[in-house]
Amino acid sequence: MGKTVYLCFSTDIIHGGHIALIRRAQQLGSLIVGVLSDEAVASYKRFPLVPASERKIMFENIAGVTRVVEQKTLSYRSVLEELKPDYVVHGDNWAEGFQKPIRDEVIQVLAGWGGELVEFPYSADEKYKEMDRRQRAELAMPDLRRGRLRRLLDIKHFVTAMEAHDGLTGLVVENTVVHENGGARQYDAMWLSSLCDSTAKGKPDIELVDMTSRFRTIDDIMEVTTKPIIFDGDTGGLAEHFVYTVRSLERMGVSMVIIEDKTGLKKNSLFGTEVVQTQDDIEHFSEKIRAGCAARRTRDFMICARIESLILERGMDDALRRAEAFTKAGADAIMIHSRRKDPGEIQAFLEEFRKTDAATPVVLVPTSFNSVTEEEWKQRGANIVIYANQLMRAAVPAIQQAAETILRCHRAQECDETLMPFKDIIRLIPEQ
Ligand code: SPV
Ligand code: MG
């Protein structure tokens, strides 16, 4: 019987380098191509511009490819155990670095039936790198960016977002990656927090920083990043104003606005009942949601209703009643908030809410109730976890400390070891 060869691709364009690899693989036997699932590609590389179903069709139409299968995970194990190929073909660029555990596993699994890993020199041609750069740039365009949160929710059902309050923190959220089990973990989206946006401007979080200024922050972040943006819309203001905010955010390429059911002078939720805060009534807030939904021009743009009943100690029944009403009014997602350290009331809400609504995405901001892992929230039925202020809270003590040290020492030498080297800061932002 002839030999079989397996070769897996994550690419959404096919160029000469890929064809050359395919031709070499075909010389070893009958070629089965794997396309990596959208979820796996999004987690380790970047959001795929072409979905797996389309990428499958692309490869099916290349001469000499006998079959195309979808590889669901970065690990090859289950695909290999099913296909039992004689050879796996790969570029030689994974013997070191974060993909090494995946490679080691391939060798070990293949050994089970005497299969072999065959590696060809990886083509790092400048023209292919340029193609990749161009594709990445396309992800930043408003029309492509806007719908990406919805698509990520469809693909992964669970998304993480980290706060960004300027271009620099945007870049940190865009580019931070940690490697784990042969894969890569990164944030899926960015949260444009009212607290951090206000704090960065030295202002309190009371809807004082006006929309024009908030849009400027969005613009700064959008110019240098590609990930979807979730905008903290505070109360949304008057319904008559909110409709314009929706139009503007949608046009800019923002993916979701979250508005909270409070009226009058808004204070940060983490104050809870220590300050006077007024909750909007259900019908009035539902009307604002309906107006926002009617104003948008695409289904890509999502409006999320944030429920403050637990923050304001109005009880679980009130929170659940609001969740149902706001969803009926058209909210694409709901956010439930708590300022307790104990995650119990959020867990109880999720359990009750999911008894009657399995579909509406639920957003959490676990600033106080921070002991629960993302995996557990996902399993309990949450869909978006937002890390709302951690980058700002990391930065403030560091800059205060540097300012104090220099004052105390009458010179800068003593604080130098806590600082980023000068030669690194001038190269931190690459030139285009
Ligand atoms: C924000 O980040 O501005 C929020 C979340 O609205 S919280 O501060 O927890 O209210
Ligand atoms: Mg806020």
Question: At 125, which CATH number?
Answer: 3.40.50.620
SS3 265: coil
What contacts 277, CB < 8 A, 6 or more positions away? 262, 264, 266, 267, 271, 308, 311, 312
In DSSP terms, which residues pair with 191 in a beta bridge? 163, 230
For residues 384 and 403, state if they share a domain. Answer: no
Residue 94 falls within a domain, yes or no? yes
Instruction: Supply 149's token pair.
Output: 């949160």
Do 348 and 404 belong together in one domain? Answer: no
Ligand 1 mutation target, pool 267, 274, 367, 391, most atoms within 8 A of CB: 367
On whether both 19 and 105 belong to a single domain, the answer is yes
Active site (catalytic) residues: 205
Strands 384-387 and 256-260: unpaired
Are 254 and 327 in a shared domain?
yes
Tell which of 72, 97, 129 closes a domain: 129
**Could you tell me the pLDDT band of residue 183, with boundaries at 50, 70 and 90?**
confident
Is the Cβ–Cβ distance between 159 and 189 less than 8 Å?
Answer: yes
- Count of structural domains within the chain: 3
Ligand 2 centroid, distance to 28 Cα (angstroms): 59
Mutate to test the pocket of ligand 1, among 201, 256, 257, 269 (most ligand atoms within 8 A of CB): 269
Distance 379 CA to ligand 1 centre (A): 24
Residue 206, domain member (yes or no):
yes
Q: Is the CB of 268 under 6 A from ligand 1?
A: yes
Say yes or no: CB of residue 270 within 6 Å of ligand 1.
Answer: yes
Q: How far is CA 397 from CA 257, 390, 391, 419, in A?
A: 30, 12, 11, 13
Domain of residue 254 covers: 141-388
Looking at the structure, tell me whether residues 286 and 372 fall in a common domain: yes
Contact of 139 with 226, CB cutoff 8 Å: yes
Ligand nearest to the CA of 306: 1
Residues 386 and 363: beta-carbon distance below 8 Å? yes
> Would you place residue 139 in the very low, low, confident or very high pLDDT band (cuts 50, 70, 90)?
confident
| For range 383-393, the mean pLDDT | 98
- The mean pLDDT of the chain is 94
Do 272 and 364 lie in a common domain? Answer: yes
With H, G, I as helix, E, B as strand and everything else as coil, classify residue 6.
Answer: strand
Say if residues 185 and 162 touch (Cβ distance below 8 Å).
no
Assess whether the C-beta atom of 194 lies below 6 angstroms from ligand 1.
Answer: yes
| Tokens at 315, concatenated | 């009880």
Q: How far is the CA of 137 from the centre of ligand 2 (A)?
A: 30
* Angle formed by the axes of helices 211-224 and 239-252, nearest 10°: 20
Q: Give the rounded distance of the alpha carbon of 81 from its chain centre.
A: 32
* Whether residue 177 sits in one domain with residue 45: no
Q: Whose CA is nearest to atom 7 of ligand 1?
A: 269
What pLDDT is attached to residue 126? 81
Clarify whether residues 219 and 365 are in a common domain: yes
Judgement on whether residues 47 and 64 belong to the same structural domain of the protein: yes
Residue 70, CB-side half-sphere exposure with 13 Å CA sphere: 13
Residues 309 and 381 in one domain: yes
Q: Is the pLDDT of residue 269 over 90?
A: no
Q: Do 347 and 406 share a domain, yes or no? A: no
With 80 as the cut, is the pLDDT of residue 125 above it? no
By CB atoms closer than 10 A (0-12, 13-18, 19+), residue 151 is middle
Tokens of 141: 């365009």
At residue 256, the 3 state secondary structure works out as: strand
pTM: 0.92
431 in a structural domain: no
pLDDT mean over 285-289:
98
Q: Report if residue 238 sits inside a domain.
A: yes
Report d(CA 7, CA 221) in Å as an integer. Answer: 38
Distance 106 CA to ligand 1 centre (A): 45
In a domain, residue 337? The reply is: yes
Residues 112 and 162 in one domain: no
